[in-house]
Amino acid sequence: MNENERPLIPKSQLIFGAFVHWITIASCILSLFAPVVMLLAPKATLMNQNLLFGAIFSGETPKEIWARLPGGFPGGHFYLNNILTGDGLGQFAIALGCSVSVWALIAAIIMFIKEKNYLFVGISLFVMLLTVFAMSGFVNIE
């Protein structure tokens, strides 16, 4: 069996895979350097990381941990206004990785349209909207 006899892989699948692959690696690189920024510039970081780590290990709840910040937890997308801070960069790395399926599905949907595979345009759109819905915090359980 030579390479030419291998079944063709749909372009939508290849594009989706490539998007997820590179965005995940970007998120990994950012997550490696965000702690460096946190420790290198503690004054440009929202929370005192030394206190924070001790609090985590002593079993404090997220509410108690964030209560150290004036005004409490600044919201899941706090990186938007604090991208140059250590925790802002760290939160951005997490948010980027956790939203990867949205960006990859946008690319896959475009390919599904080109492949005239409209059923999977709809299914992919639904999964993408479900992720966007979860990201938006539209339903607040508190």
Q: Which of residues 64-83 bind other proteins (CB under 8 A)?
A: 65-66, 73, 75-76
87 burial via Cβ count (<10 Å: 0-12, 13-18, 19+): buried
Choose which of 44, 97, 106, 107 interacts with other proteins (CB under 8 A).
Answer: 97
The binder of other proteins chosen from 44, 107, 110, 131 (CB under 8 A): 131
CB of 23 to other proteins, least distance (A): 8
CA dist 15 and 78 (Å) reads: 30
Q: In whole angstroms, give the CA distance from residue 51 to residue 60.
A: 12
| Residue 39 sits in the site that holds other proteins (CB under 8 A) | yes
The least distance separating other proteins from the CB of residue 110, rounded to whole angstroms, comes to 14
SS (H, E, C) 21-64: HHHHHHHHHHHHHHHHHHHHCHHHCCCCHHHHHHHHHCCCCHHH
Among 4, 43, 44, 48, binds other proteins (CB under 8 A): 48
Under the binding rule (CB under 8 A), the answer on residue 107 touching other proteins is no
